[in-house]
Every structure is written in C-alpha cells, then in structure tokens.
Structure 1
C-alpha cells in the first residue's frame, strides 16, 4: 500500500462522530495516516452527555435498536464489551385519552397490539411494492398514517376504538422525528429497524463512544475546533491525487482522500463548500432526503411520586397522552406527549425522572420558546407546558413537594448549526427514490477522492441510527482500503 509519492496514504476525515471515528479505526488498522478535523471542541458528534440534572444523561441517542437479520448488532456488542448497563422495559403502558382519562388496560393493550400488527403489515406492503416495481405501485404522497387509518376502519367496528388507535399511531413520530402523516408508505420498509428489539442505555453512551474512538484518539491526528469551510478536489487528478481542506482560521490541509462524516443537515446547508460543485445527481440526493426534529425534556422530581413500593416493578415503562384537548393555553395544537419512566432503571442510574420525547412541530415550538432565555424563565415555561400531563400520573398531589419539579433539562438540537439544525434523515411523503438517493450518497465521488458516511448513508435497515452511522463509516473505510489494494495490484 502507498500513495503515488511512496508514503502511506493520508486520509482526511471531516467530523469526529461515530461514522468518522469508525472509518478512522478501519483505516488505521491498515496502516493509513489519518487526520480528523472536528468543528466542535469534543469528539462524538450527537453522542454527548449533560450533568445539569445532578447526574449524567445522554442528550443524544438513548436507545439501541436491534434487527432480526441474525448478524451480531455492532452497538449492542460494544455495549456488552464495555459493560454498559442496558435496560429492557417491562412492556407495560399507560394511555390517557384526549380528555385526559385513563384508557382501560385491556383496551390499551388490545389496541397497541393491533397497531403494531398494522405497522408490520405496512412494512410488508412497502417491501412487496419495492420488489414488485421499486415501490411505484404506492403513490408517493401516500403516508403511513393513510395505511393505518384505512386498516383501523377495516379492523375495528367501534368508532371510539378506531379513534384511539389512530391517535396512538401519532406517537410513531417519536421514533422518526416527524408526524406519522409525513412518513412515506412507499419507503416504510426503510424504517423497519424501529420494529425490532429495543434496549435503553441506562448510564450513558460514553463507554461505547470511548471504545469506538480508541484507535483514533491514540493513533490519528485529531484537530478540534477545526470548522471546515472549503473542500477543494479540483486538483485530485491522476498525477497529484490531492484534495485541499480549508478551515475557518485559514489553515489548509492536503489529503489523498477525504471522507465527509458530517451530518446530513450540515451537508444540505453547506453544499457551496465543495469546489468544484458536486455532481447534480449527488447534490439532488442530499436534498431529496428530509430531516426530522427530535428533542428531549428530562423532568426530575424530589421523589418518584408516580410509583410506590408495591408498583415499582410493575409501573408502566411508557405513558402516552393522546391528542390532549385539555391544555388549550399551552398546547392549542393538541400535540400528543409521551414519557419513559427513568425511575425504573437499576441503581445507580435510577432517578426520579420522567423523559419526554418531542418531535416535529412540538419540538420546534419548545426549542424556539426557550432558546436564549434565562434558565429560571425556561424552568417555569417547561414546568407549565408539561404539568397538564405529569399531573395525571398516579400519586400526584398539587400540595405535595414531591410533585414539584426539582430540575428540568431540555435539548436544543434545533439550534445546533453543526447538525444542520435538525436531527436525522427521514423518508417523507413525496420522495421518489429514497433508496437510490442513499445509494448515490454511499457511492460518493471516488474519482475525486471524496467519500460520504453517516446515518444518512447507512445500510437500509439502520438508517437514522447509531449503528447505521457506525456501519457506514466502516464501509467507507474498507472501500478505501480496497481502492489502494487494487491500485497496488495494478501497479504490480
């Protein structure tokens, strides 16, 4: 292996998130020289933590979504190797209807089971259309919500049951970051990872990240606070094979190959950083994929008032307030809400905390309301916004100090420019060829020494996940290794 000047090839990686770090790991293991340019003052990208609640929580990913392919799931494997504690939820749920009353347990379980059966049918319908005619038999404007609504009418005679099931389906948005009526039915098969087993990271992703980053931090040159402003591959020809990266302070770096491990949102907003411009098919592929918005709000109380000694193990992991009609002042749009009970985790990660997942317009509303404001004002705003929901939990007493929030932490990924002010890729109604768009991004511009990896260039079953980013970086690393093997064999 060697570059045309006889030295080991020097690969530049833009972004020290999971995909960039995994790509570096592969390259370093084959003797490449690697430099990582990271715009933040830390590595990890969207994997990061906060201690604002008085203990550590992930403000990026919390979950590991596994698949049924028979292969070992890479992130689950790393979690086990690093002895990262994982939580398997008890499968119980507590549902409140749009009037704020509890849905009977029998009814919620029956409708939840039916809903997941319908979603599974949607996956199969989408996959069958893919195999038949590349999905063309499903209109591009047809949504997952349309499919669920039609099936609810066919499966349920009771109108109230139909309405509850359809409202329950809205919480699919908390999986993919946008409402269910925006989700493309044609490409529902690309979200099938959400239907597999899911485990929750009890402590944080930090040990997993450290393992992924080990080779890069020990063997690569990692330059922090290095925001790339220009990616020039104009001189990447057969004689020179050099790409030039310029960062915000004016420094320039030359590489044999460049791997863009930046988020999709950043790429969409910085297409003019590429010199010359990217090929039209690649550029359109980036813009054809949509972005989701997922935010989180952690609310910690003096004690977990919603559970008792007798209900601690059996209290539902998941609580959902369906399309609330009782919070007109704070939630006139009736955005549904959901929480996960973090008091169910094992010590020392067990805390009297409920975790709200917000998506779409609700998440944008919350972040726009709190961004740049004093913490005390934000605490009051968030307490008042979520009080109509947690006040319906069992054990709530307005006069009890145990029911008054002690600390609140809200994420603000919407305001993160390095993420492109968004979360992750999303396959929305109207998209024509989402799978081909991802394949185009995966291919990159090999002739220009320009490669792309990330959750938006992942294996189809892992789009939008940590595992997807990891596998995407691994794939690009292996392809670069093979490229130089092929060149070496040709030279011989």
Structure 2
C-alpha cells in the first residue's frame, strides 16, 4: 500500500468498520484503517484494551519495544536441570544434553517441513525425538531417558504435552525455536504506541460483549447487524472478528447468521487451544543468586519429580524462568513457572475461587519442593519464604476463550489449510477474522503473530476498496 490513501466518493458514506476485540490484532487493524480514513468502532468485552499479552521473539514487537525504550531481556544459555530424584546435573552435562535436544527439535522442524503430508497423522514430535535420541546416543540408556524427560518441557511452549504435538505440522511451531526475548517490564509502552490512533479516533466501547453477527449473503445486500449482550443492534459495512480462537470454538454455532461456512467451522474445530498458565513467585530477595544474578541460569527444569508424591503424584515436570537475571534496574526476586496440559488444569482448578490466603498456601505447598532445591535455600530463612504468589487463569476466562494460544496436535489432517481458511474469512459477506490463530505460519500463537495478522487483514481490506 505504501503511503497511498484511499479517497472515498463524497456521494457515499465513509465505510464504517466494526472490530470485535481490542487486543493487539484489533488495535493494529484499527490503526491502519483509521490512517486511511475509515470510521472504526471497536467492541471489547473486557473493561480494558490490550487483550492477552505474551512474549514474542520476532521483529514487530521487538521493534516497538526498541522504539518505546521498553527493555528486552536476552536469556543466557545456562540451564539448571534437576533429575527425577532431585539431583542437579553438572553444568557440562546439562549443556550437552540441552544442545542435543534442541538440535533434534530443529531437525524435526526441517523433517516436518520437507515431508509434511507423508507423515502419519498419528505421529508426534515426541516420537521423532525418541527415535533420534536412540540413534545419536546408542547404548547410553541413562542419557536417553534424561533427554526424553527434558523434551517434555516443550509443552511449556505450546500448552500441551510433546506427545500431543503433531509431527506432521511441527514446522508450524518453528517460531518457538531460536533466541528467546522477554519484556523486562510491561507491555504498557508498546500497547500505548499501538493504541495511540485508535484511542484518539476510534469509538472504543468497553464491556460490550457481542452475541450475534448477522451478515448479508453477498456484498451488495445491505449492512451487517451486530447485537450486543445489552440488546443493542449496531449496523456496519464490515466486521472484523479478532476474538480468540477459543471464543470462536464456543460461539461459532450461535453467534453468526447465516452460519459460518462449513470449511471455516471445521478449521475452528480442528485447531487446538493450548492450556498454558503462569505462576509468579516473588521472594523478599533472590536468595538463589549469591548476588551474581547475571551468572545464574536463565532456566531451571525439574524433570519428572518423584519426590513430591503428596502434591504431584503424576510427576508433572516443572520449569522456571529466572526474573532476577534481568538488567539491574529491572531485575526482580521472582521465579516464573510455566505450566501446561494436565498440570495447568489441576493447578487452576485447585485455586480457582479461593481466598488470597488459601491461594497462597495451596500454591506454595505445590511449588516448594522445587524452589527449595535452588541454591542457598533454607527453611529457616525468611528471605526464602514467598512474599507473593500470582497465577493466571486463562482456562477460566471466557474472554480468552478458556485457554491460551493455538497449537497443532496429533491427528490433524491439514492444519496449514485450516489456518488459511480462517484467515481468508468471508469477504463476500464482509466478515473477516484476525488474531494469533490467523498469523503468518512462522508466528502462529504469539503476540507478534496477532500484530501481523491485524496488519495483514487491514491491508487486504484496503486493497479491496482500492479495486472497487
């Protein structure tokens, strides 16, 4: 599009666009459309803009972070790994096994990309790792078991166990590889930049839940009617749905009239929604660092722990990111646990609806067997007692679609075509879809993907108006 601006015929009304959802994708779409002179109304079910925030590892959000002086953290390559018995692996061994595992996963991406449709639908990423580990470490049964246990932490990237990750479509998760970047502070400055024009020129209506979108069967058959939970009926020229995939799963059969095309419905059903959750545990000080925060491992893994049978009888592995390793002005005495699958479901149901004291007590009891193995821990030291514990509850959040982000599980037949089907939307009915689940393949399931999907959809809409 460049800097070319659309000129509307003065005899016609300026097109009025409805964007359902004021997350990153919706705000980015609004920004572009407003620049081109469209009238934009945003309907957001929450009492705030911004939607779901997550870290991304590619250019648009990184560039916005740099532009807004938002500090980014580059995790070091050190990794602490505790075995199922609670023994800490030597640094050399941990580095060797971790490097080998990621080499195998990168190989799996390439294998998936090259062989995609010839790979059985039932094959998982774990299956590939298991075969390659035996080939690369013949006879080394102990190390083979360790790497397979380490591979379970892949679930912290996609929200489901590695045994459920489709090998056929592993290439669509390739964004999870490479260098990890983390926002050291908050997304506020980045969000403020994205939302600047929408806040100035769009009609943003908070706490407005959409319950019905009634579209014409073709572009020349009148306006689109959007009904809110409050019973208001609003008319628009185009409707852009930036609601989470999980919301579409819950509402696709009742929220659209006429019904969505079968191909889009089947795509929404086929793509999975992850069960990723986070638990932040903050201490009076970072007792585990010995005042050498930069040298402490960025990651720590507890593999299939067998030493917490009362709180974790299923031996769910645990992983933390060390927020005390941030730059001096932003470092915090906090460890961030990433949970997924059955473990995240268990934790959320354990604490949902509990008072703050019980919430703290239950989570501290669950995670103490792991943080108590960190260096310098002492049960008699008040600095080793959590000061605060915060947990997400995406699986209980209707606005998040009762989950986190899209992923591609064993059994999927044509995940790439499913994404394309939703991404295409129903332009003939003036109904469009954007969000992390419609992003470019290399950024599915990320905040960057949400941003890029909103941008791409707005550009498509502009192109359509240019060619009319």
Q: Shorter-chain-normalised TM-score: which range?
A: over 0.9
Q: Which residue of 1 aligns with 2:206?
A: 224
Q: Which moved more, 1:343-352 or 1:73-82?
A: 343-352
Match of 2:30 among 21, 24, 28: 24
Q: Quick one: structure 1 residues 368 and 417, their matched pair in 2 at CA, closer, same or farther if it must change by over 3 Å?
A: same
Q: Which residue of 2 aligns with 1:243?
A: 224
Q: For 2:281, what is the secondary structure of its paired residue?
A: strand
Q: Which residue of 1 aligns with 2:57?
A: 65
Match of 2:460 among 440, 461, 479: 479
1:232-264 Cα deviation digits (max 9, x unpaired):
003654142x10100011111111010001000
- Give 5+ residue unaligned stretches, structure 1: 48-60, 67-72, 130-134, 488-492
Q: Which residue of 2 aligns with 1:53?
A: none
Give the paired residue count: 460
Match of 1:170 among 124, 131, 152: 152
Q: Which residue of 2 aligns with 1:448?
A: 429
Q: Which residue of 2 aligns with 1:467?
A: 448
Q: For 1:119, what is the secondary structure of its paired residue?
A: helix
Q: Would the aligned equivalents of 1:445 and 1:451 in 2 still touch at CA under 8 Å? A: yes
2:71 maps to 1:85: yes
Match of 1:423 among 398, 404, 407: 404
Q: Which residue of 2 aligns with 1:214?
A: 196
Q: Which residue of 2 aligns with 1:275?
A: 257
Match of 1:196 among 171, 178, 190: 178
Q: Which residue of 1 aligns with 2:323?
A: 342
Match of 2:339 among 358, 371, 374: 358
Q: How does 1:402-441 map to 2 (within 5 A)?
A: 402-441=383-422
Q: For 1:112, what is the secondary structure of its paired residue?
A: helix
Q: Would the aligned equivalents of 1:235 and 1:243 in 2 still touch at CA under 8 Å? A: no
Q: Would the aligned equivalents of 1:297 and 1:357 in 2 still touch at CA under 8 Å? A: yes
Match of 2:370 among 389, 405, 424: 389
Give the structure-1-normalised TM-score: 0.92
- In the TM superposition, residue 346 of structure 1 has moved relative to its aligned partner by 1.9
Q: For 1:319, what is the secondary structure of its paired residue?
A: strand
C-alpha distance in 1 between matches for 2:166 and 2:200: 43
- In the TM superposition, residue 127 of structure 1 has moved relative to its aligned partner by 0.7
Q: Which residue of 1 aligns with 2:62?
A: 76
Q: For 1:316, what is the secondary structure of its paired residue?
A: coil
Q: How does 1:121-140 map to 2 (within 5 A)?
A: 121-129=107-115, 135-140=116-121
Q: Which residue of 1 aligns with 2:297?
A: 316
Match of 2:42 among 20, 32, 36: 36
Q: Quick one: structure 1 residues 5 and 261, their matched pair in 2 at CA, closer, same or farther if it must change by over 3 Å?
A: farther
2:94 maps to 1:119: no
C-alpha distance in 2 between matches for 1:478 and 1:3: 20
- Give 5+ residue unaligned stretches, structure 2: 1-6
Q: Would the aligned equivalents of 2:156 and 2:338 in 1 still touch at CA under 8 Å? A: yes
2:45 maps to 1:45: no
- In the TM superposition, residue 64 of structure 1 has moved relative to its aligned partner by 2.3
C-alpha distance in 2 between matches for 1:482 and 1:136: 33
C-alpha distance in 2 between matches for 1:426 and 1:3: 44
C-alpha distance in 2 between matches for 1:123 and 1:89: 22
Q: For 1:65, what is the secondary structure of its paired residue?
A: coil
Root mean square deviation, CA, Å: 1.2
1:14-66 Cα deviation digits (max 9, x unpaired):
0000110001111111111100011111000113xxxxxxxxxxxxx1x2212
